[in-house]
Chains A and B, each alone.
Chain A
Amino acid sequence: MSRELLAEYPQATDRFDELFEAPHTPRAHWRPLIEQLAAWPAERTRERLHSVHDQVRENGVTYNVYADPQGADRPWELDLLPMILPEEEWGRIEAGIVQRATLLNQVLLDVYGEQRLLNEGLLPPALVFGHAGYLRPCRGAKHAGDVMLHFYAADLARSPDGHWWVIGDRTQAPSGAGYALENRIIISRAFPQLFRDLKVQHLAHFFATVRDSLAHWAPPDHGSPFTVLLTPGPHNETYFEHAYLARYLGLALVEGNDLTVRDGCVWLKTLSGLQRVHAILRRLDDDYCDPLELRSDSALGIPGLVDAARRGNVLVANALGSNLLESSTLLGYLPNLAQKLLGEPLKTPSVATWWCGEPAALNEVIANVHRLVIKGAFPQQRVEPMFGEDLDERGKKRVIGMLRARPNDYVAQELVHLSQAPVWDRAHPRLLPRSIGLRVFACATPNGYVVMPGGLTRVASAADARVISMQRGGSSKDSWVLASGPVSSFSLLRRSIQEQDLVRAGTNLSSRGVENLFWFGRYCERSEASARLLRVALGRFGDNVPGDDDERARPVMLELLRRAGMLPGGGAAPGDKELSAALRAAITDDAQPGLAANLRQLMRVASNLRERLSLDNWRALNRLTQAVTQRRGRKTAFSDLLTELDLAIAGFTALSGYALDGMTRDPGWRFLSVGRRLERLQWLCTTLKLTVTGPAEMDLTWLLRLADSIITYRARYMARPEWLPVLDLLIRDEANPRSIAFQVQGLRDYAQRLADLFGDFGDERFHGALKGLLQLDPGNDFQPGNERLLARIDEWQAAAYRHGEQLGLRFFSHVGEASSQTFAT
């Protein structure tokens, strides 16, 4: 088995091989893994592989690609095999990263402070003043603990001689740590025994340290500091990670317009007013953070943030302006700066880099252009790397001309031949070689930098790739750092929570979060209602499926389908063929009104709420949508579609179960429940109105099934449905969660609770609706076509609509409004 496994994995000759030390001889630290794989029957490996794949999908691990026309969430690519690093080797990497982070932080402090490095000629002015990431308004700010670089990542590559080199620094808002954590959770489950036996170092403490260090340096105030994670929003490529980290670290996930600056401090707009924010872990680029003092065209930032940070009233991590260090120009100067600032040589070297702004370097680059990579000097230039070895004579001339014209704007680097590591081939049970790079992460603590033991191994899409890009279809690996002793845990700095710090109500709910919860409730209900309607309709009209075939109810149901947009309005009654096509589309095609479209809306809202939904909740949601959309465009038997609808409805039941049993009863939950009940009330009103005005003698079984009340009815009456008991159950029965009375009472209670908490917000309290319910006389009014009943239904529907409006005006409206920039001369 082992031979077979390794048959397609040639030992690298011109590059470092992570796996083999000699032909067919795995290095000691890889052996247990290879042996395990070889020992597993093929079935077992396949099952593990599927489990990894399913978990990525179910947990909704995505990496958005801007260029993707659908803007779709692309599933994260994760290889089954971890990358393995022995303890001693990791020790060297760790020391190099700690030193580098320390050095970069000092450079940053100097450039945004005294500027001794500039004045003493240790840094050419072009590297600072010519860098669009040098943010002048941020100079002179005070930084708690002299830390600007709180969170740092370095991209490492291993050269053929086995040494690790830094090929890039991520200093602004490094991404990947959350993905690394997610990779770890999934892969450690695939190899539980091996993971324990090898004593793989854990990641959890690192994240606790990130959170505690932020809290440590946040400006002092009464009580515990309030930290938020600032995201550009769901369209960002790494939004999954923002939501994931926010949830993992217990931070509020906010967008720019959730925050405001008053009195030089940052505040979160919450349901109950403004709440002071002490620390911001940001994933928004520097220059987008404040449209008042930085990029004026940013719609994502917080006007006044720079000033608040400058005054020391909020900790921004990383400090604004740290993008400055994301320039390859700096690499050549670091050895010298390490000597000057730290008094020691640079431990982990950078890949050889020449900044063309130095005349001597320019000449050397021109002479060797055929074997170098030419890159933009500054990240803002967005220059694609040019490989000298790809250039013909004309191309070379053009590049040289370009370098001479604007030498300051370019750097040249040596091409690193990336090391190769094995990946699992999905198609066949075997290993394939792929180029890899390692992204490692460090976090500032009061005791110096701490490195995450592990990292994100990035895998190129081809065996001999020169660059690794997640944007271009790269994959990833969990990264295991082995320990010889017991897995260590270092002490945390956390200040302990005192009695006066205890929090009960969710007062820090952002207005946007609340609005999303409200719509989450509505779309859950709307999706479920459409699934139920489709199930009843399909049971009735579908071929081969026995259903209640009362033809007299047909027009009512057709009208319900029309109201829901699932059938074209007006015209003659559709034929069976037309109808079945329409139903099929309504189930699977999200471009048409129907279940798939409602689910898409639900997912859109849910993706704004990711940090509030539990992973289980999220998985249930993902299963729902994926099951339905998989059927799109495929010829599926009606019976299979019915099964799909059954599963979907079971899924919705699970979702309401989470809402009922898995969420704290805070005001946010109340908004979710209000959304659900409003939606259900409106839907009930529409359905009942159409039914009551329909044929008097029709069989009402379908209505009971639609309203999920058939079991109750049968248990109570053991008879064929009749108007009086059916309407009593669906309208007046307070115990039936599908009745009008149940919705109205709940809405009245919620409205009262919200008014108690937040003061008046409009006059609709459902008192009228409740009175209307009580005044109904079932004996006389619960008849088909009854005018008093119809008038009441209209009143309830109007009350529901009014309440929705009033909630929106009071609690949601100011968030949606965009701010705009003005200039006067």
Chain B
Amino acid sequence: MRLSVTHETRYRYSSPVVLSQQLLHLTPRVLPWQGCHAHQIDVEPTASEMTQREDYYGNRTASLVIAVPHGELVVRAASAVSVEPRAQVALAAPKSSWEAVRARLSALDAPPLAEPAEFLFDSPHVERSRELADYAVKSFTARRAILESATDLARRIHRDFKFDRTATSVSTPLKQVLRQRSGVCQDFAHLMIGCLRSIGLAARYVSGYILTAPPPGRSRLVGADASHAWASIYCGERAGWADIDPTNNCIVDDAHVTLGWGRDFADVTPMRGVILGGGTQQLAVRVTVTPGLEATIESK
């Protein structure tokens, strides 16, 4: 599917910001199932410096410095991408029991699996715990296939937790989400990742978007007017990674645009910054994802 994405972030400050340094994860990653045909980032006021690079995980990032005093900052990212369907591919992949995958990940006598091993441990927003393990094991029953177990876990999160924009903020700890049973897509992704890591499996956090207005005959997905997030689970050496969206209780297909991945939100925050001055601030984020290519984006 061809998709156009615009992601606008607007900060209003009560007093001028003298210096603003921002780290962006707003550029879609190029992947076997995803092409990025055009991409552009506009900044107001004009950035005095802008550099792009690949981060530790291979995601594309940009760093900005705005050195003129400003009362408002707007960062607009526009991208044109094409996404191949991949849910069926994941379902058709060779199956392993979750215990087998876990044993392989923790084996010290076999050649280490450095890539998934990266995603086995605690990270800034996801701390493994007994509570998360207890929640997870109801889906991870003896000798059950790992993908089947994980989709069941996503189903239960979707059933047990309420989507509520007002319930959490970026700093709400996972423990509290588990207790209050509500949150947004970032929380559900963290929750799913926490469950998986707490039982010894590797899981990573994927940042991206989903289609705002669905094509005829398909229902509108939750979280479409903002940036989105979901989890990816390591299913063994042959099957590799499978993306699962607990917010929408589905295996990720061609309506999800991937920006990048990391251990959790902290690694791929769409826009993370440090400002000098500013007083109190208001933040407004607008995301639109539409089918087809928008003419305003110039092809690279």
Contact = CB atoms under 8 A, between A and B. Distances in A.
B53 to A, nearest CB: 9
B121 A823 contact: no
B274 A822 contact: yes
A130 B118 CA distance: 8
B67 interface: yes
Contacts of B283: 822, 824
Given A291-B274, A822-B275, A824-B270, 17 more contacts: A118-B112, A121-B108, A121-B111, A124-B112, A136-B56, A140-B56, A260-B19, A262-B65, A293-B23, A408-B121, A821-B272, A823-B273, A824-B269, A824-B271, A824-B272, A825-B170, A825-B270
Q: Which residue, A137, A291, A819, has most C-beta atoms of chain B within 10 A?
A: A819
Top 10 closest pairs, chain A to chain B, by CB: A125-B117, A303-B274, A136-B56, A130-B121, A824-B271, A819-B276, A824-B9, A822-B273, A303-B21, A823-B170
A124 to B, nearest CB: 6
Interface residues of A, number: 39
B278 interface: yes
B112 A296 contact: no
A264 B49 CA distance: 9
B227 interface: yes
B274 A820 contact: yes
Interface size bucket, B side? Answer: 35 or more
B112 A119 contact: yes
Given A817-B276, A819-B276, A825-B270, A304 B21 contact: yes
A262 B272 contact: no
A292 B120 contact: no
Contacts of B122: 130, 132
28 contacts: A119-B112, A121-B108, A125-B113, A125-B118, A130-B122, A132-B122, A136-B56, A137-B55, A137-B56, A261-B21, A262-B49, A262-B67, A264-B51, A292-B23, A292-B273, A296-B266, A304-B21, A817-B277, A819-B19, A819-B276, A820-B274, A820-B278, A823-B271, A823-B272, A824-B11, A824-B269, A824-B271, A824-B272
A126 interface: yes
B95 to A, nearest CB: 25
A794 interface: no
Interface in A264-302: 264, 291-293, 296
Interface string A119-156: 10100111001101000110110000000000000000
Interface string A551-587: 0000000000000000000000000000000000000
A825 B285 contact: yes
A765 B267 CA distance: 53
Contacts of B21: 261, 292, 303-304
Interface of A: 115, 118-119, 121, 124-126, 129-130, 132, 136-137, 139-140, 260-264, 291-293, 296, 303-304, 307, 358-359, 405, 408, 814, 817, 819-825
B108 A136 contact: no
A264 B130 CA distance: 44
Contacts of A822: 11, 271-275, 281, 283
Given A121-B112, A129-B117, A820 B270 contact: no
B83 to A, nearest CB: 21
Contacts of B270: 824-825
Grouping DSSP codes into helix (H, G, I), strand (E, B) and loop, the B interface class, with mixed when no group exceeds half, is mixed
A276 B119 CA distance: 39
A293 B53 CA distance: 14
B248 interface: no
B249 interface: no
B47 to A, nearest CB: 12
Contact of B114 (A119, A263, A823): A119
A397 B278 CA distance: 54
B56 A125 contact: no
B18 interface: yes
Given A293-B23, A823-B170, A814 B18 contact: yes
A125 B120 contact: yes
Nearest to B121: A130
Contacts of A291: 274
Interface in B230-287: 266-267, 269-278, 281, 283, 285
Nearest to B49: A263
B46 interface: no
Contact of B56 (A126, A139, A359): A139
B226 interface: yes
Contacts of B67: 262
Interface in B1-42: 9, 11, 18-19, 21, 23
Contacts of A819: 19, 274-276
Nearest to B262: A136
Contacts of A358: 108
B63 interface: yes
Contacts of B112: 118-119, 121, 124-125
